Structure 1
């Protein structure tokens, strides 16, 4: 189906923000803006054919211009946390902005989520491009990034990432959509059922930096290998913070089934596939009360993020999958969210 577009706003620097609408003829609709590559809306039918918007966000660009919890955004150069905002490549140390409890988070003060990307439409694909200069936010190398969004006839929203560099650097890109399959305005995710195909996870310290260990989930609150009611399990996670943890996936580099999120009452189901070695499961415990679409007040545990990624703090952990991109190499990542209805 053709991709339509409309003006959505303008930045303080005078750059135009465009919203693109992807449809596939199956009553599924995805809206994306070129500011931060943000997914602003996903409209999906329930078991009775009634559509609801199943991602958190804002009605207008004004909400996205100010600080918010990365609703729907492309994250880069490095998604998640880097301890102390420091890392080394080939003996050279680099320093990043420390914007989260003394650590670097989601690309810094002005990461890829706060940049206007160059957009083009190629058939049923929305293609975004961003050039990140050497030294931006402390990261080395001129990085050229391409991200494509495609809504397929089989109800998959596929996000594909590519990046090239002229100097050794680190790259770890992801999408930060907040899902509530009962509708963004329906309250908590207590009645959602989640399954994650991960037998191991990375335990974290008090600032959510992995301790460097990869441990089995068996016998812990982090065992999501079978269908798990989130309302029950969230309460079992130590510290009353719910999930904000990296789960280790098999077959890094290969597309595989990662997770299944299901809402029994509506029948909406979302299966996730990815090439990445990890997925961050985040249930929104750190979200402040914030007014979103339709004047709805979003609170903690109102949504769940499933962020395909490399492990947090990988640049400082030799036993984690490597994240260094060198000249002549290509960073690639592919993640799909497949929507269906269980009647």
Structure 2
């Protein structure tokens, strides 16, 4: 069941909150503003239902959010070096909104856009048109994001798009997960396992160096489950660019999964995706003049799994391509499956 209500306004536009409820009484909330996921309410091992994603206590915080809580990111997630790329004999300049570089589609990106919506049974469709030249990108992009919440507590996000000119396209979702429920503590006691045999090292500007390296015998090896505190306080030189913690791309094994467990609540999250990679961000820089679940935000209060093509792939010939061409249809899905430790 899907319900909706107006919860505020931004200028002339209503801010609409959608609630997707399954037969178990577990639910997902999101906004037409930026397609932002504001709640996923699932039970712990005692049956207590709580929100397992970070959300602002005040709606106004979503209007100017440098942390992109729960947001749909586009056209391209992550950084593009020097805000520039060449494609099919043409050079393109993008907005440089993070120093000399381009981040998450620009300063006015899809997390700031209002999506149109359509409810089709248990499916919620959010759509927008990204005009030719938006933040420097070529081609008009017609995009639809379909959200499905099942009785098995699986949230599936399906991205569908076509373009009028070849363009880089690699959308993602920027939800911060905290399986303690209502952000009781940081995520440092969570245990993470990923079928990710390779990671992408970064330079001093947090840009990919172009290498794809094995995680073997590095701080980035999560092929066996490990508690996150091992990286949030690791002195490893490879983490220097992002401070303690992780903000790095990983290349997933085909058909691989990501599994996050929180031992106290007993909640688990399993992520499967059709994307080639994921940027794992442990919330190293969370903080500011706002509260989440009644507490001041702190580093490591949530972890993001930004499933996508690898950042700066448009400039890296050894990375999987993120180019969408005329006549092709982009369709990729990611599923976030919640359960409890047996």
Q: TM-score, with normalisation over the residues of structure 2?
A: 0.96
- Show the counterpart of 1:247: 250
Query: Which stretches in structure 2 are left out of the alignment for 5+ residues?
Result: none
Q: Distance in 1 between matches of 2:44 and 2:325?
A: 45
CA contact (8 A) 1:43 1:54 kept: yes
Q: Distance in 1 between matches of 2:72 and 2:165?
A: 22
Q: Which shows bigger deviation, 220-229 or 256-265?
A: 256-265
Count of matched residue pairs = 337
Q: Distance in 1 between matches of 2:185 and 2:290?
A: 13
1:159-308 mapped onto 2 (5 Å cutoff): 159-236=157-234, 237=236, 238-239=239-240, 240-251=243-254, 256-308=255-307
1:120-135 mapped onto 2 (5 Å cutoff): 120-135=118-133
Match of 2:75 among 77, 86, 90: 77
Following superposition, the deviation at residue 187 of structure 1 comes to: 2.4
Q: Distance in 1 between matches of 2:257 and 2:291?
A: 29
Q: Distance in 1 between matches of 2:86 and 2:286?
A: 31
Q: Which shows bigger deviation, 182-191 or 77-86?
A: 182-191
1:289-321 Cα shifts (integer Å, max 9, x gaps): 342344321111111001101001000001100
1:34-53 mapped onto 2 (5 Å cutoff): 34-53=32-51
- Show the counterpart of 1:341: 340
Match of 2:134 among 129, 136, 144: 136
CA contact (8 A) 2:75 2:168 kept: yes
Q: Distance in 2 between matches of 1:76 and 1:227?
A: 31
Match of 2:30 among 32, 35, 39: 32
1:75-104 Cα shifts (integer Å, max 9, x gaps): 000011101111111121111111123211
- Show the counterpart of 2:85: 87
CA contact (8 A) 1:258 1:273 kept: yes
- What is the RMSD of the two structures over their aligned residues, measured on CA atoms? 1.2
SS of the residue corresponding to residue 144 of structure 1 reads strand
CA contact (8 A) 2:182 2:293 kept: no
1:133-171 Cα shifts (integer Å, max 9, x gaps): 000111000000000100012210000001100111110
Query: Which stretches in structure 1 are left out of the alignment for 5+ residues?
Result: none
Match of 1:62 among 40, 60, 63: 60
Q: Which shows bigger deviation, 320-329 or 282-291?
A: 282-291
Q: Distance in 1 between matches of 2:66 and 2:51?
A: 19
- Show the counterpart of 1:322: 321
Following superposition, the deviation at residue 288 of structure 1 comes to: 2.6
Q: Moved runs in structure 1, 4+ residues, more than 4 A?
A: none
CA contact (8 A) 1:289 1:300 kept: no
